Amino acid sequence: MKYIDEYRDGAVARTLAARIARQADPRITYRFMEFCGGHTHAISRFGIADLLPGNVRMIHGPGCPVCVLPTGRIDMAIRLARLPQVTLCTYGDLMRVPGSAGQSLLKAKAAGADVRMVYSTLDAIRIAETEPGREVVFFAVGFETTTPPTALAIRQAEARQLANFSIFCNHVLTPPAIRGILESSSDGVEIDGFIGPSHVSAVIGTRPYDPFADEFSKPVVVTGFEPLDVLQAVLMLIRQINEGRHVVENQYVRAVTREGNKAAQAGMADVFTLRDAFAWRGLGSLPHSGLKLKNTYAAFDAERRFDLEDLPGRENPACECGAILRGIKRPAECKLFGTACTPETPLGSCMVSSEGACAAHWTYGRFRDHQRRAS
């Protein structure tokens, strides 16, 4: 697969790993947070931890929009799905996320709610067109990568005068979340640098990360999606730390530019506006971190259309998703991990989303816990 396989080359990995081992100063512990859940997944799937020296640690960040969705918002989606006239369209990732009282969209579907998994907003629009008797609601979730497609869908719905299409908007923004992490780092984990998200950056560019390098003096390397990208980015971060620099660098030059995708940004700005605040699982309420539809598009806003009540949501008190999302705890340090909370019986969102830290660790990496105990 072009532009994929070349960046998974094991021989080049060994070269990069050797260089990393030479450059990493044995007197320093390097703690890098990969913000994006896709990177968490790649690191686990390719076993990148095995290629890094012991003093280079990867900390999993909250860049998994499914993981940071508060339970209350899932409850609201389930409530929408249960309305008899509603067809709720959702990405697959959200089907099994637990709401309060052990409910989920998958369970609601089994009980008769019209929940349909879609790959794209294009599918949801198609359903609205071919089933005019149904109220089609699209469960819109995601960071800035996924938001432009939703914006386009809204504009398409408007152009086609679709009277039965709306979205339940849960789109969130990356820079406020990174800021939230950095501002709360006095609580716990020290982060020395960031592996910046690949495809969010393809949309927003690298400019939005400048404050984290400037204000917080943290190096940020915007990184590609493949494992060699991650290794190269780790090398770049180590270099910055060793040289006392803290700037924004772009490793993903083949897809990311300084200014990003202007058309996508314009689409988002046309359709969405900032919420004053939005609740994030684990990070609490962050100002100007979430999006809602502008008043001109109110007809497409499911929250207004169905007069949806804001639900508070209840999480399992022993669930450590919050601490894990901030990088303060590791999955194995949550008492529920592997016992009450498994991918089959997820109690928290970190376990259900395939790129949540807990799911990634369970699926690919938990054998290392036993190795650690054995040695």
Partner 1 sequence: MCLAIPVRVNALLPGHMAQVSLNGVSMAVSVALVEDVAVGDYVLVHVGYALARIDPLEAARTLAAMREAGVIVEREVYHEIY
Partner 2 sequence: MTIAVLRRLDLSRGHVDLSHGAGGRAMVQLIADIFHSALDNEWLRRGNDQAAFDVAGGRMVMTTDGYVVSPLFFPGGDIGSLAVHGTINDIAMGGARPLYLSASFIIEEGFPLADLKRIADSMGAAARTAGVPVVTGDTKVVERGKADGVFIATTGIGLVPQGLDLSADKARPGDRVLLSGSLGDHGVAIMSKRQNLSFETDLLSDSAALHGLVADMIAVGGADIHVMRDPTRGGLAATLNELAHQSGVGFRLEESAVPVKPEVAAACELLGLDPLHVANEGKLVALVAPESAEAVLAAMRAHPLGREAVQIGEVVADPQHFVQMATDFGGGRIVDWLSGEQLPRIC
Q: Which residues of this chain interact with partner 1, rule CB under 8 A?
A: 1-4, 6-7, 12, 15-16, 18-19, 36-38, 63-65, 91, 119-123, 142-143, 145-146, 148-149, 152, 197-200, 202-203, 210, 213-214, 217, 224-225, 228-229, 231-232, 235-236, 239, 244-251, 253-256, 258, 261, 263-264, 267, 355
114 binds partner 2 (CB under 8 A): no
340-to-71, 320, 321, 347 alpha-carbon distances in Å: 18, 13, 14, 8
Q: Is 47 one of the binding residues for partner 2 (CB under 8 A)?
A: yes
CB of 59 to partner 1, least distance (A): 17
Instruction: Please state the closest distance from residue 227 (CB atom) to partner 2, in A.
Output: 5
Q: How far is the CB of 317 from partner 1 (least distance, A)?
A: 28
Q: What is the DSSP string of 259-293?
A: S--HHHHHHHHHHEEE-SEEEETTTEEEET-BEEE
The residue whose two tokens read 């984290």 is 212
Of 258 and 314, which has the nearer Cβ to partner 1?
A: 258
CA distance linking residue 45 with residue 26, whole number of Å: 27
Contact 6, 33 (CB under 8 A): no
Nearer to partner 1, 38 or 346 (CB): 38
Residue 344 binding target from partner 1, partner 2, none, CB below 5 to 8 Å by type? partner 2
CA distance 363 to 352: 11
240 binds partner 2 (CB under 8 A): no
Q: Which is nearer to partner 1, 199 or 329 (CB)?
A: 199
Tokens of 162: 């679709």
Is 292:308 a contact under the CB 8 Å cutoff? Answer: no
CA 68 and chain centroid, separation: 7
Of residues 200, 160, 105, 95, the one with CA closest to residue 300 = 160
- Binding partner 2 (rule: CB under 8 A), the pick from 101, 187, 317, 367 is 367
Q: Which option in partner 2, partner 1, none does residue 214 bind, with CB closer than 5 to 8 A by kind?
A: partner 1
Q: Are 170 and 69 in contact, with CB atoms under 8 Å apart?
A: yes
SS3 57: strand
Cβ proximity to partner 2: between 49 and 274 the closer is 49
For partner 2, the binding residues (CB under 8 A) are 1, 4, 8, 10, 13-14, 17, 37-38, 41, 44-51, 64-66, 91-93, 95-96, 106, 116-119, 123, 142, 146, 227, 342-344, 353-355, 359, 362-367, 370
